[in-house]
């Protein structure tokens, strides 16, 4: 055969195998025996081995899993993956409906979908080919798990149209696959997974794709984050379009014309839930109209046009085997119930929060008691009450210690607080927890410095305060377990990069009592340098609208400590930035720019800037970037192949700029 004939045969085999795969894994209607599928796949493998340059990324042979990776790269989602607010009863749903109808000022239709209990992922397709898959991560930045996602056979590697789009879905492990996996792990003497969700997440974060391939995962796609070339007006239309393209969508969704119809759908699935061959933990309710979704908008964390109705809390009985104490970064000593392992809401529970000593007394808890525990959705399990009739007399009373379980210092109860605190600034538990907080995502965001690594460094006496992080020695790190040259170099690079963070990240990372990430941003924006904040008095702080007396006093007391003055000095000496780098609100308001105060949409392929660079420039100049065109859009900036957004903008009479015009404006 000529190479052209081989290429034609390979394309025919790929098309045939993709069709067989779609019929089997998406439609659940096998069209050929497994032996015939295997024979065709073997033919394709053989041809691709003989002609490796003809092998493509969308070939069915790429599903078996490639070589192990050294780590997952970070990727930015084209459209943020927001989390959902929760509803726990019918009244919460009616309140949601009231807010929605007030927001749009008219009738609303809803789409109800099963909330699959798995791992949220984003799938990117270009010209119909699957090019990248990522975890949700923090909603903006996820991890590239493309090779693992390719092993899920219900994910099409090639769409039925040459569409460019980013879709969202929930990868999950079917109940049968979960039971088999745990049975195999039990036989091997390996710890079993607590629930299918953890198993799915653990499988997709394996560095060896062959492990993911062996786990028999599945997926349901539930919507598009972004698509081009197709005009879609509603979420229900989007679901149908996903199915047309070859995606597996959950067919139990329903379009409802009233909130009472929604409530009926939700309550019906409370009873039917056990009949499914996969786990669900609630129902997602979305406004169907995309125009109405745009009108309602989003908060920082979640859309106003969607909500998750969580199933009722499940309560079970188990035995309280002990109470463990832990010391947090602020010195609070927290008791935790150690329980006889029990299944609650699909999760194996061995621990539950007891909050404080007053709760233990209020519920008259004794070690050895049989107790009722409750878990609703992802909420931490809690002890509801004691079953007194099960007491035998062998139960033991529990009382909080007088001294810190970590350092032995006397514990104190501060006025108006229920918590006991260790106020020893040298307490190792507080230092360790403070270090973990300092490197966390919302603080200095040092990749590679997780809780385990921090604990290891602390135990090896390599770090005792946050400034020590910036003086870690490469040779010392290489002596530690699980620290290879590449991981050490990556860690040191991440530490070095964090020195350039804006002041608000440092302030939040320092763990000043009552100062969260939002307050840290406010303080940084108003004082601009840490030196000015150190010299501020309580009145200077309370003059800022968002800062109350309690927070102001806490900040002043913090910076008055000699050890804090030394720490800040040390951080400055090692090169950590001490200034605010962002725009102040007043500066944004005063920006002389055609984008200031405008709502702007980007569409099509930009050639001179990446989409993220364009978005950053618009926001720097006071504009707001959204993902879809609506009547509230002020400006559409178009690249190549603009598609339906351009059509809709022209229909609504919205101003349209080319990319060249946009770049020219940036350069003026």
115 is catalytic: yes
Residue closest to 584 by CA, chosen among 624, 532, 529, 525: 525
Distances (CA, A) of 474 to 201, 439, 575: 32, 18, 18
Concatenating the DSSP letter of every residue in 211-258 gives HHHTT--EEEEEEEEEEES----BHHHHHHHHHHHT----TT-EEESS
DSSP one-letter string for 87-122:
E-SHHHHHHHHHHHHHHHTS---EEEEEEESSEEEE
Task: Tell which residue, 577, 561, 443, 429, has the closest CA to residue 499.
Answer: 577
Using alpha carbons, select from 152, 150, 132, 151 the residue that is nearest to residue 142. Answer: 132
* Rg of the Cα atoms in the chain: 28
User: How far is it, in rounded angstroms, from Cα 311 to Cα 97?
Assistant: 18
DSSP string across 37-66: HHHHHHHHHHHHHHSGGG--TTSGGGGG--
570-587 exposure pattern, b = at least 16 Cβ within 10 A, e = fewer: bbeeeebbbebeebeeee
The backbone torsions φ and ψ at residue 590, rounded to the nearest 5 degrees and listed phi first, read -95, 0
DSSP 580-625: --SPPHHHHHH---TTTT-EEEEESB-SSS-HHHHHHHHHHTT-EE
Report residue 599 as tokens.
Answer: 């709502």
Q: How many angstroms separate the CA atoms of 604 and 660, rounded?
A: 13
- The two beta strands, 119-126 and 129-135, are antiparallel
Tokens representing 108 are 């609303």
- What do you get for the CA distance between the two ends of the chain, in Å? 60
Spatial distance between the Cα atoms of 140 and 654, rounded to a whole number of angstroms: 28
Alpha carbon distance 232, 241 (integer Å): 9
The three state secondary structure string of 533-587 is: HHCCCHHHHHCCCCCCHHHHHHHHHHHHCHHHHHHHHHHHHCCCCCECCCCCHHH
Q: Annotated catalytic residue: which of 115, 150, 286, 645? A: 115
DSSP letter for each residue of 136-166? -TTSSEEEB-HHHHTT-TTS-SB-SS--EEE
Q: What order of strands is seen across the sheet that includes strand 280-287?
A: 85-87, 306-310, 280-287, 110-116, 254-256
List of residues 6+ apart from 516 with CB closer than 8 A: 508
Taking the mean position of all CA atoms in its chain, how far away is CA 7? 42
* Active-site amino acid positions: 115
């Amino acid at each position: 055969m000529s190479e052209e004939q081989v290429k034609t045969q390979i394309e025919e085999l790929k098309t045939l195998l993709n069709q067989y795969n779609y019929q089997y894994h998406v439609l659940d209607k096998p069209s050929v025996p497994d032996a015939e599928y295997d024979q065709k796949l073997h033919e394709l493998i053989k041809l691709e081995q003989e002609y490796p340059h003809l092998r493509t990324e969308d070939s069915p042979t790429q599903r078996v899993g490639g070589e192990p990776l050294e780590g997952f790269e970070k990727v930015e989602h084209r459209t943020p993956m927001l989390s959902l607010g929760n509803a726990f009863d019918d009244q919460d749903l009616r309140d949601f409906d009231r807010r929605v109808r007030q927001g749009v000022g008219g009738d609303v239709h809803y789409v109800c979908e099963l909330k699959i209990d798995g791992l949220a992922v984003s799938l990117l397709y270009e010209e119909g080919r699957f090019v990248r898959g990522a975890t949700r991560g923090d909603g903006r930045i996820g991890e590239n798990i493309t090779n693992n996602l390719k092993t899920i056979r219900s994910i099409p590697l090639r769409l039925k149209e040459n569409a460019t789009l980013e879709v969202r879905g929930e990868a999950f492990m079917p109940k049968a696959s979960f039971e088999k996996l745990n049975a195999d792990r039990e036989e091997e003497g390996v710890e079993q997974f607590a629930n299918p969700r953890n198993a799915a997440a653990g499988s997709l974060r394996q560095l060896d794709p062959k492990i993911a391939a062996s786990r028999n995962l599945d997926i349901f796609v539930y919507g598009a984050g972004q698509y081009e070339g197709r005009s879609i007006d509603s979420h229900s239309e989007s679901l149908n379009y996903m199915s047309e393209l070859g995606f597996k969508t959950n067919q139990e969704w329903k379009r409802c014309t009233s909130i009472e119809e929604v409530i009926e759908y939700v309550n019906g699935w409370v009873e039917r839930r056990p009949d499914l061959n996969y786990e669900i933990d609630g129902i997602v309710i979305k406004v169907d109209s995309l125009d109405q979704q745009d009108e309602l908008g989003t908060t920082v964390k979640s859309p106003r046009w969607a909500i998750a109705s969580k199933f009722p809390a499940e309560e079970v009985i188990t035995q309280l085997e002990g109470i463990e104490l832990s010391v947090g970064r602020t010195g609070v000593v927290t008791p935790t119930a150690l329980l006889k392992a029990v299944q609650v809401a699909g999760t194996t529970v061995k621990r539950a929060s007891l909050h404080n000593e007053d709760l233990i007394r209020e519920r008259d808890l004794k070690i050895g008691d049989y107790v009722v525990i409750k878990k609703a959705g992802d909420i931490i399990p809690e002890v509801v009450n004691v079953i007194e009739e099960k007491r035998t007399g062998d139960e033991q009373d529990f009382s909080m210690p007088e001294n810190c379980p970590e350092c032995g210092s006397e514990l104190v109860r501060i006025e108006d607080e229920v918590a006991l605190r260790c106020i020893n600034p040298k307490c190792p538990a507080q230092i360790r927890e403070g270090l973990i907080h300092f490197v966390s995502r919302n603080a200095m965001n040092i990749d590679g410095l997780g809780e385990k690594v921090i604990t290891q460094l602390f135990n090896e006496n390599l770090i005792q305060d946050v400034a020590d992080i910036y003086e870690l020695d490469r040779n010392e790190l290489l002596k530690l377990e699980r620290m290879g040259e590449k991981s050490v170099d990556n860690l040191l690079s991440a530490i070095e990069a964090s020195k350039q963070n804006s002041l608000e990240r440092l302030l939040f990372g320092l763990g000043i009592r009552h100062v969260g990430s939002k307050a840290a941003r406010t303080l940084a924006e108003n004082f601009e340098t840490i030196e000015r904040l150190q010299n501020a008095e309580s009145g200077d702080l309370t003059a800022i609208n968002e800062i109350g007396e309690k927070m102001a006093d806490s900040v002043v007391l913090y910076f008055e400590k000699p050890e804090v003055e030394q720490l800040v000095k040390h951080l400055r000496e090692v090169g950590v930035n001490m200034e605010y780098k962002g725009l102040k609100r007043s500066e944004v308001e005063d920006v002389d720019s055609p984008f200031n105060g405008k709502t702007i949409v980007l569409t099509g392929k930009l050639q001179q800037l990446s989409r993220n660079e364009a978005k950053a420039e618009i926001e720097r100049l006071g504009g707001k970037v959204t993902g879809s065109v609506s009547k509230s859009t002020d400006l559409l900036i178009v690249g190549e192949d603009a598609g339906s957004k351009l059509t809709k903008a022209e229909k609504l009479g919205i101003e349209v700029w080319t990319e060249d015009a946009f770049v020219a404006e940036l350069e003026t």
